[in-house]
Every structure is written in structure tokens, then in C-alpha cells.
């Protein structure tokens, strides 16, 4: 069934050159009458951004400040001089708040996404949130801004989108809706079932090879350490006004059930689908309507078994570190996030071992007593200090480089497909 759009939407997509960016533009391209692209942003992959400009003809783009002149020249040479090029953090904020766009897709990875996403919230936009780190860092302030500015926040992260779909449309609180538990599913990552000891030897290439999803490098490593589930637990608490006690993490290696909600009467509502981010993206783009996403239907006849198990907190301590940081409150989740970003980057550059990621985060959390997170300045200051402390700790732990002369970043850049579709 084709649904006629009631209101054509104008989209700004931050992080257009990434995995979520690619999936979002794939869905948008399937519905040219329904969506118009106003703005795109990129960071390093500016050649890819140029191709996207040719295809989607945005009015504005944002790139790093030092790349503005060069990119404007490239646009002019391609006959696209009419596209305005904005630069740096202020450029990202200007793009995120441009009055011409009603919807922001927040798909920058990491803390860099916080400022422009929050700016879009403060401008009262519909915000499709993939950038979970923004909410982890600034949850209370972010959700208050959503309420104060009458913004519309729609979760793109597959689990949170599944929970959103499994809650009533009139949802205000777990209690008012008769919800007993949120069941947050986790794939367990590529190292599920491995012992803590054996994880000392794993390589970045193994860590980014997620069993079910093809995603950016940072979130892939987060899935491998289970930090992704820790970040998602915090994300779910803020999005659904829940506490960690309201949420059970269940390892479900097939990633077919994207999360569930159990109600007081014993009913469990779940959202299932082929693991392909175009489904939650299409859901959030069209909400409350439904549109085609290009995703293959789930075939129950060939699905095989759906299995479930408990997370292994010994081999994967990051989930509990996230729970501890959330319980500590204030700026602790921002510190957790910053230390994790630094540690994952060091692991990808082969400066530390996989198991040392958790050590860096634990150490950094212990160094920084939580402060109030009521002001953005306080959060950004703790983010910066935590990064410095994590870096300093890593400097004392750095392992000898392994055999490959290439960094993982170089290796993966050559092979990245920029899809978030399932592998199986």
C-alpha cells in the first residue's frame, strides 16, 4: 500500500557519509515526493559528500572549518556553486537549526553530535536520534530541552525504536501504561561466549566484524565490548522515563527481535525484523505513518532458532561500568562516554588491547567525581578533562604495535561498505 504524504518533510542529515547516513539517504531516495534534503554534513569523507550533493542537491552542507574553501571550490567545479558551505561547530549548529528544515537526522558518531543535535532540539525540530552518545552525555538537560521547546524526539537506534513501537502511542510513563519491564536485546557481539582471558588477544579487525549488522567502527567496537548495551541502557532510561531496574538486558544472538516490552498482564510486545537499519529509519521518518524501506520481509520459514541468554559480566565489564556511571549520576555518564571514545580509538590504532578498553574507562571514572550536569558547559568541561585523563592513562599502558603496518582506520576505510544492513 502506498500512503500519500500528508506533509512533505524537509530533512537535514548530520553524518551523511556514515552508515546511518547511507541508510537514511537510501530510504529518502525511495520517496522523492515525501522528502526533500535541505542539508548534509560530513567530516573526513568529503569526496563522498560531493557525490551526495550531486545526487540530493541540498541547499546547505557543513564540513570542518579548514575544508570550507576547498569543498566550495569542488562544488563550483561540479556546477554546484549554489550550495552553501558552512564550517566547523558553528556551521553544524547553523545547519541543524536552519528554518528551512523541519526534521534533523542526528547521525554523527560520538560527542561531536551533541551540540548540533541539542541545537535542533532547542529550535523545536523533529529529531530522529541515532547519536546515542548525545543523550548519554546530557540526558537530563537534553530531555528538558525537548519538553521546553516542544521538539519531537524519535528513536532511530534499533532497540529503542523497537521499544517505542511496542509502547502505546499515548505513552507517558511505565506505570501509567502498565509496563512491567523493558526487555533490551543485545546480540552479544562477535566475542560472545569467549573467556575474559582469550579477549586479550583479539584484533580490531575481529572486533569490528559484527555478526549481524554492518556499522561504523566505533559502534561496532562498542557492540563487541557490550558498552553499546550500556550506552543503550542509559539511552532507554532517558527516552522512556525508566530506571535501570525497569530494564533487563537479554542476549539474543540473532538480532531478529529488536527489543520488547512486558506488560503487567503478562503480555510481551516485541518488534521483529531483518537486521537492517532502514526499517527503524523509515519508521521514524514517516511516523506516525508507515512507508516502504526496501528491507526484505522477515521469512519465518527460514529463520531457524531464536535463542536467549544472560550477558557475561566477567568477560564484558563495560555494561556494568555504564550502569555504575548512570547510578553515580551528574557528569559521570559523560565521563564514561568520553573515556570510552578515547579507549576505542586507541584500540583501533592498536595502542591498547581489547580488554584494556574497560580498564581505561574504569580508571577515568574513578579519577573524576561526578559534578552537576545541569549546564552544558559543565558537561563539555568534564568531557574534555576525562579525555585528557584517559589519554594520560593510555600513555602508561600502550602496547607494542602488532605486525600490520596499517592502522585499522586505514584498513577499514578501504573496505567499509557504509550500510547498516544485516550480513545474513
Ligand X SMILES: NC(=O)C1=CN([C@@H]2O[C@H](COP(=O)(O)OP(=O)(O)OC[C@H]3O[C@@H](n4cnc5c(N)ncnc54)[C@H](OP(=O)(O)O)[C@@H]3O)[C@@H](O)[C@H]2O)C=CC1
Is 382 a residue that touches Mn ion (CB under 5 A)?
A: no
* Nearer CB in complex with ligand DXP: 277/282: 277
* Nearer CB in complex with ligand DXP: 31/229: 229
Please state, in angstroms and rounded to a whole number, the distance separating the CA atoms of residues 346 and 397: 11
Please state, in angstroms and rounded to a whole number, the distance separating the CA atoms of residues 412 and 424: 20
Q: How far is the CA of 18 from the CAs of 13, 217, 219, 345, in angstroms? A: 10, 10, 12, 17
Residue 223, marked binder = yes
Nearest approach in angstroms of CB 366 to ligand X is: 25
**Spatial CA neighbour of 228 closest among 241, 240, 243, 212:** 212
Residue 157, marked binder = yes
Helical spans, DSSP H, in 123-277: 132-148, 158-166, 204-207, 217-225, 227-239
* Site track 127-166 with Mn ion (rule: CB under 5 A), x = hit: ------------------------------xxx-------
Residue 44, marked binder = yes
Report the partner that residue 131 touches, choosing among ligand DXP, ligand X, Mn ion, none (CB closer than 5 to 8 A by kind).
ligand X
Going by the DSSP 8-state scheme, the letter that residue 62 receives in this structure is: E
Report the partner that residue 108 touches, choosing among Mn ion, ligand DXP, ligand X, none (CB closer than 5 to 8 A by kind).
ligand X
Please state, in angstroms and rounded to a whole number, the distance separating the CA atoms of residues 366 and 302: 48
For ligand X, the binding residues (CB under 6 A) are 15-21, 42-45, 107-109, 112, 130-133, 157-158, 213, 215-216, 218-219, 277, 420
Task: Show contacts of 269-272: CB within 8 Å, 24+ apart.
Answer: 269/166, 270/162, 270/166, 270/183, 271/161, 271/162, 271/163, 271/165, 271/166, 272/298
Length of the chain, in residues: 424
Q: How many residues bind Mn ion (CB under 5 A)?
A: 3
* Nearer CB in complex with ligand DXP: 226/373: 226
Nearest approach in angstroms of CB 133 to ligand X is: 5
For ligand DXP, the binding residues (CB under 6 A) are 157-159, 186-187, 189, 213, 223, 228-229, 277
With vertex at residue 65, the alpha carbon angle to CA 64 and CA 70, rounded to the nearest 5 degrees, is 85
Please state, in angstroms and rounded to a whole number, the distance separating the CA atoms of residues 150 and 124: 6
* Nearer CB in complex with ligand DXP: 186/247: 186
Residue 340, marked binder = no
* Nearer CB in complex with ligand DXP: 56/213: 213
| DSSP E strands, 268-332 | 268-272
* Nearer CB in complex with ligand DXP: 139/189: 189
Residues annotated in the binding site for 1-deoxy-D-xylulose 5-phosphate, as ranges? 132, 158-159, 187, 210, 223, 228-229, 232
Q: Rule CB under 5 A: which residues touch Mn ion?
A: 157-159
Binding residue ranges = 17-20, 44, 131-133, 157-159, 187, 210, 216, 223, 228-229, 232
Amino acid at each position: 500500500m502506498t500512503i500519500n504524504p500528508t506533509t512533505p518533510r524537509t530533512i537535514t542529515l548530520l553524518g551523511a557519509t556514515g552508515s546511518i547516513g547511507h541508510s537514511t539517504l537510501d530510504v529518502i531516495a525511495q520517496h522523492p515526493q515525501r522528502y526533500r534534503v535541505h542539508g548534509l554534513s560530513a567530516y573526513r569523507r568529503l569526496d563522498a559528500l560531493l557525490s551526495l550533493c550531486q545526487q540530493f542537491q541540498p541547499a546547505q552542507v557543513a564540513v570542518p572549518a579548514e575544508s570550507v574553501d576547498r569543498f566550495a571550490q569542488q562544488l563550483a567545479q561540479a556546477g554546484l556553486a549554489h550550495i552553501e558551505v558552512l564550517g566547523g561547530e558553528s556551521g553544524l549548529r547553523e545547519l541543524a537549526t536552519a528554518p528551512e528544515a523541519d526534521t534533523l537526522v542526528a547521525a554523527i558518531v560520538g560527542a561531536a553530535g551533541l551540540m548540533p543535535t541539542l541545537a535542533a532540539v532547542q529550535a523545536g525540530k523533529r529529531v530522529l536520534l541515532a547519536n546515542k552518545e548525545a543523550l548519554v552525555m546530557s540526558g537530563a538537560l537534553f530531555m528538558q530541552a525537548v519538553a521546553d521547546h516542544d521538539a519531537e524526539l524519535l528513536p532511530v537506534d534499533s532497540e529503542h525504536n523497537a521499544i517505542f513501537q511496542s509502547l502505546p502511542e499515548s505513552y507517558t510513563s511505565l506505570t501509567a501504561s502498565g509496563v512491567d519491564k523493558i526487555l533490551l536485546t543485545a546480540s552479544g557481539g562477535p566475542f560472545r561466549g569467549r573467556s575474559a582471558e582469550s579477549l586479550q588477544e583479539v584484533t580490531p579487525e575481529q572486533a569490528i566484524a559484527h555478526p549481524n549488522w554492518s556499522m561504523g567502527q566505533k559502534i561496532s567496537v562498542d557492540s563487541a565490548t557490550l558498552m553499546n548495551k550500556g550506552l543503550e541502557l542509559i539511552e532507554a532510561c532517558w527516552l522512556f522515563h525508566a530506571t535501570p531496574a525497569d530494564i533487563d538486558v537479554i542476549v539474543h544472538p540473532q538480532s531478529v527481535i529488536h527489543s520488547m516490552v512486558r506488560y503487567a498482564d503478562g503480555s510481551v510486545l516485541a518488534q521483529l525484523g531483518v537486521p537492517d537499519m532502514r526499517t527503524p529509519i523509515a519508521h521514524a521518518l514517516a511516523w506516525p505513518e508507515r512507508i516502504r524501506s526496501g528491507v526484505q520481509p522477515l521469512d519465518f520459514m527460514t529463520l531457524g532458532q531464536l535463542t536467549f541468554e544472560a550477558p557475561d559480566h566477567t568477560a564484558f565489564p563495560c555494561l556494568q561500568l555504564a550502569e555504575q556511571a548512570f547510578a553515580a549520576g551528574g557528569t559521570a555518564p559523560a565521563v564514561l562516554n568520553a573515556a570510552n571514545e578515547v579507549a576505542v580509538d586507541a584500540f583501533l590504532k592498536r595502542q591498547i588491547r581489547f580488554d584494556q578498553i574497560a580498564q581505561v574507562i574504569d580508571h577515568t571514572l574513578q579519577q573524576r567525581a561526578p559534578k552537576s550536569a545541569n549546564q552544558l558547559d559543565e558537561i563539555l568541561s568534564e568531557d574534555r578533562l576525562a579525555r585528557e585523563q584517559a589519554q594520560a592513562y593510555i600513555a602508561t599502558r600502550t602496547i607494542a604495535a602488532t605486525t600490520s603496518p596499517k592502522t585499522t582506520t586505514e584498513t577499514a576505510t578501504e573496505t567499509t561498505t557504509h550500510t547498516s544492513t544485516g550480513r545474513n
